[in-house]
Amino acid sequence: MKKYIIGIDTGGTYTDAVLIDAHSGAVMATAKEPTTHNHLATGTGKVLATLLAASGISAADIGQLAVSTTLATNAVVEKKGARVGLFVIGYVKHFPLPVLAVVFIKGGHTLQGVEEEPLDLENLVDTVRGLTGEVDAYAVCGAMSMANPTHELVAEKAIAMLDPKPVFCSHRISQQAGMRERAATAALHAKLMPLMEDYIAGVQSAMVMQGLSCSVVILGGNGQTVTVDQAVQRAGMTVASGPACTAHFGALQTSGDALVIDVGGTTTDIAIIENGRPVMAADGCQIGEWQTHVEAIDMFTGGIGGDSLVLLDEREGVLRLGPGRVVPLCMAQGLPPASTWLGAGGHGRCIGRVADGEGHGAGAEESGDPVLQFLNQQGPSTPAAIAAATGMSLVPLEKHLDGLARMQLIFEAGFTPTDALHVLGRIALGRPEAAQEGAAILAAIQGVDSEQFCHAVCLGVEKQIEDLIIDYIIHRYWGTSLTSFITSRDRHPVLGVAFSLKIPLIGIGAAAPCFLPGVAARLGTTVSFPVNGEVGNAIGAALLGRAANVLARIRPEAP
């Protein structure tokens, strides 16, 4: 066995890497570099180069690369990823899912696997013809397909003959009852496969650049390692990859009970530790609106983090945070002066063109895309300016911008909690003058000074994290969600409610020390921040990879 293992965690803002001793598990070196969404291999290559240089270790001594990522989780929370057309066969009660289209088709089988109604193939074919060009992948979920998958298989073949895009059948990934959860699981795999395929290609390219030839494993949401091929073909397995590594690292910090809170750039992840061990979700994990059958740790993810977009509501004059992630003003390059575009209402973000040759849709500009042409000529602009120049109304423009962002051809920038922290002097990662300019503009609209405004932004983040924790606990122990009540409880004209926690918090992530002390104080508990907690997910990935190696040596697979 070689001497060292590298753990990588690719988040929405930063890619972290650690190098550990394969025998003792001791951390030998750490590194952190910005995630390059438009070309993932670049950021991954940089963090690997920084790590190897800092450690002085040769690439030849690395025995394994263990990879964790929150990109899949972020894509679900931010409502990004592939556009999916979902076919539900033989189920009468309609339900919504956050996909492009949910189409209900006659057919299905009984619990004994007997055909209950013939598959309405004609309707399916007509619908697929209408979806061609609108979706990136398909998912199929048939009633009792775990007993008889025939209708799913026929539908899969028919779709493939009409539109050569990925098709995912629920019987291949879920054998549990629960039609909505099985449909969500199939749709989730379809939604995330292109993203995971691109990510793994980026990791492998970065390894070649750094001369690494070791094996690669991907961490699944249950904390177990999967091969590269498994991660691509069943991308939904990785949706809780980052939180699983968070929970494992957090569990190393206590022998009792605790809540592990990972505050990232895009999301905040919550996991529970009982008796020093992460708890598995009994029926599959829930990510945002998606309740699935994906085996994973018991966790919850919310769309609030250091890079969440800060907006001022024009009518109510209140702050709104997330769930979308943008490039903070202090980290963005080439933006026009904030005074020319930043304001209330919809004037909170600026759209820019990703550098030529680095996006995934090379050639889109040459095909005459009006938005890309305008951005090339004028530089970063607001959606309103783009709409005025291209003649597109705002609703179709937003849909078009979503597509360009999905191809990594454009980026969005705006004021974020990260900017607020720069103004308050709590962090120093980028250009504080850009953050100060943005804060002054937004503070003036609210009639306060910049520091007051930034304190309000940070308080908003703390309150959203507090609400996530309360909602997670209620859902876990009582099986229900009180989201609408919890988020509005402070504004109720009659009822006042306060909550407290009986277990401590463990904070992970670079932004955690900025926000969690206030959260812990309001919940009447304590919070601790482990050594190397800013790269805790990467450490968790490396240690889980190491544990899998040890287990493989003890119990080698049968030939």
DSSP 149-173: -HHHHHHHHHHHHH--S-EEEGGGT
Question: Do 185 and 244 belong together in one domain?
Answer: no
Q: What is the pLDDT of residue 358?
A: 45
Question: Do 203 and 146 belong together in one domain?
Answer: no
- Domain boundary among the residues 143, 176, 193 is at 193
Name residue 287's beta-bridge partners.
Answer: 290
Which residue spans within 160-220 are E strands per DSSP? 167-169, 215-219
Check if the beta carbon of residue 188 is closer than 8 Å to that of residue 294.
yes
Q: What is the pLDDT of residue 288?
A: 65
Q: What is the pLDDT of residue 559?
A: 39
Question: Do 214 and 184 belong together in one domain?
Answer: no
Question: Do 431 and 342 belong together in one domain?
Answer: yes
Does residue 417 sit within a domain?
Answer: yes
Question: Do 246 and 362 belong together in one domain?
Answer: no
Q: What is the pLDDT of residue 554?
A: 46
**What DSSP string describes 407-472?**
TT-EEEEE--HHHHHHHTTS--SS-HHHHHHHHHHHHHHHTS-HHHHHHHHHHHHHHHHHHHHHHH
Q: How many Cα atoms within 13 Å fall on the side-chain side of residue 452?
A: 9
Q: What is the pLDDT of residue 323?
A: 84
Question: Do 95 and 106 belong together in one domain?
Answer: yes
pLDDT < 70: residue spans in the chain: 1, 287-290, 314-317, 344-347, 355-367, 549-559
Question: Do 320 and 448 belong together in one domain?
Answer: yes
pLDDT digits (tens, 9 = 90+) for 238-278: 878 888 999 999 999 999 999 999 998 888 999 999 999 99
Q: What is the pLDDT of residue 556?
A: 45
Domain that holds residue 124: 84-193
- Domain boundary among the residues 149, 171, 193 is at 193
Question: Do 244 and 314 belong together in one domain?
Answer: no
Question: Do 327 and 443 belong together in one domain?
Answer: yes
Q: What is the DSSP letter of 323?
A: E
Angle of helix 450-478 versus helix 432-446 axis, rounded to 10 = 90
Question: Do 156 and 105 belong together in one domain?
Answer: yes
* Tally of domains in the chain: 3
Question: Do 400 and 539 belong together in one domain?
Answer: no
Does residue 285 sit within a domain?
Answer: no
Q: How many Cα atoms within 13 Å fall on the side-chain side of residue 111?
A: 3
Q: Which residues contact 497 (CB under 8 A, 6 or more apart)?
A: 489
Q: What is the pLDDT of residue 344?
A: 65
CA-based end-to-end distance of the chain: 21
pLDDT digits (tens, 9 = 90+) for 182-229: 898 888 888 888 888 888 999 999 999 999 999 999 998 888 888 888
- Domain boundary among the residues 453, 487, 502 is at 453
CA gap 71, 69 in Å, rounded: 5
Question: Do 392 and 313 belong together in one domain?
Answer: yes
Q: Structure pTM?
A: 0.83
Q: What is the pLDDT of residue 366?
A: 45
